[in-house]
Amino acid sequence: MLFLEEMPERTSNFARFAWLTLAYNLVVILWGVFLRASYSGDGCGQHWVTCQGEVIPSAPELKTVIEFSHRISTVIAGFVVIALVIWAFRAFDRGSWGRKTAVLSLVFIIVEGLIGRGLVLTGNVAANWTPSRPYWTAGHLINTFVLLAFLALTAWLANKAPTPVLNVSKKALVLIVIGLFAILVVGVSGSMAALTNMLFPSASLTEGIAKDFDASSHYLLRLRVSHPILSIITAVYLIFLSGWLRTWSGGVPTVTRWANILSVLVIAQLAFGAATLLTLAPIIMQLGHLLLADSVWISFVLLAASYLTNGTVPIKESV
């Protein structure tokens, strides 16, 4: 994966473990998307922590196997992050950012598990619809992104000075914050679009577009068109932002690297998103689309971190 390019040729065992922790969590997240897209979220019924009332389901259906295996993978992810925190306290000095980001990774993976529990117990899974489901979906997406951010920062900090010095320009910081919120908004709109596709499937692209503009359609269908619009606007902004940060940093290698990676991933995501729409979002396309979305987010976080700690900002910035 592209974010692994941050690892130097000779790196610490902790850094390798931190990057692998991030990669494993990405796999768990993708398996969760497969769980949702395959309508397997109700495979264990409305039971937690048991599955169909059993510790280990007997004679399970396929969707039960999918749901139960996802639960096992999330439990393993939790223990992996606990190990990351313990190791971080040995690898980083007291009060260092690395310890803090590792602890926050643990906090948000716990919240991730609680959100999964809430989805199951409230029946907001598979093809079930409740008025609260969009809020659960949005909360899940935001928490996942925050979790990935702290895991990525922990791995990134493993090869940095114990306490990197912030180099903050107000203008640059504002532009970075705008980019951060723009990606989160696009991510939420994308999760809503995926939910809408699942709850209100269309037999063709023409039928789907007609539903989007039908005044009698469900409000989620009428909101779905916002996702491609927001995606294009945000993509253009991120490409410009990458160029500005690369220029303002004065050619700092890490900033240049992540700016280039982010730009390439944004363009790839736009193309893949269009292909996903035209093919009516089969599961394999949904998995690829989310992987690219997560990669864009991670690249943005590490570009911002690289700039704010290594960049040299001219007194006069021009956009």
Give 86-108 pLDDT, tens digit per residue: 999 998 888 889 999 999 999 99
Mean pLDDT check: name the lowest of 157-171, 215-229, 270-284: 157-171
Mean pLDDT check: name the lowest of 1-10, 127-136, 253-262, 275-284: 1-10
Which amino acid is residue 281, in one-letter code? Answer: A
1: pLDDT confidence band, cut at 50, 70 and 90?
A: very low
Query: Helix, strand, coil proportions of the chain in percent (round to 5)?
Result: 70, 0, 25
Helices 253-278 and 226-248 meet at what angle, rounded to 10?
170
CB-CB contact of 6 with 159 (8 Å) = yes
Which amino acid is residue 260, in one-letter code? Answer: N
Beta bridge partners of 51: 54
Residue, of 273 and 7, whose pLDDT is higher: 273
Mean pLDDT check: name the lowest of 22-26, 127-131, 273-277, 290-294: 127-131
Go through 156-168 and write b for each residue having 16 or more CB atoms within 10 A of its CB, e for each that does not: bbbbbeeebeeee
What's the pLDDT score for residue 164?
A: 63
Give 271-306 pLDDT, tens digit per residue: 999 999 999 899 999 999 999 999 999 999 999 999
CB-CB contact of 73 with 31 (8 Å) = yes
> Highest mean pLDDT: which of 47-56, 111-120, 153-162, 196-205?
111-120
161: pLDDT confidence band, cut at 50, 70 and 90?
A: low
- Give the mean model confidence (pLDDT) for residues 129-149: 95
CA distance 199 to 220: 10
Looking at residue 175, what DSSP letter applies? H
The answer, yes or no, to whether residue 6 has pLDDT greater than 80, is: no
The answer, yes or no, to whether residue 9 has pLDDT greater than 70, is: no
314: pLDDT confidence band, cut at 50, 70 and 90?
A: very low
What's the pLDDT score for residue 311?
A: 47
Positive/negative CA dihedral, 304, 285, 17, 187: positive
Among residues 114, 106, 35, 34, which one has the least CA distance to residue 77? 106
Fold of the 165-319 domain: Four Helix Bundle (Hemerythrin (Met), subunit A) (1.20.120)
Tokens of 25: 């969590």
- Other beta carbons within 10 angstroms of residue 25's beta carbon come to 24
What's the pLDDT score for residue 32?
A: 93
Among residues 305, 287, 276, 272, which one has the least CA distance to residue 179? 305
What's the pLDDT score for residue 165?
A: 66
| DSSP letters for 32-66 | HHHHHHTT-TTTT-S-SSSBTTBSS-SS--HHHHH
Give 30-75 pLDDT, tens digit per residue: 999 999 999 999 999 899 988 988 889 887 899 999 999 999 999 9
Q: What is the mean pLDDT of the chain?
A: 90
What's the pLDDT score for residue 10?
A: 34
Task: Report pTM.
Answer: 0.91
What's the pLDDT score for residue 70?
A: 95
What contacts 4, CB < 8 A, 6 or more positions away?
19, 23
CA distance 194 to 137: 10
Residue, of 1 and 31, whose pLDDT is higher: 31
CATH 1.20.120 in the chain is located at: 165-319
What's the pLDDT score for residue 60?
A: 83
What's the pLDDT score for residue 251?
A: 86
319: pLDDT confidence band, cut at 50, 70 and 90?
A: very low
CA distance 149 to 143: 10
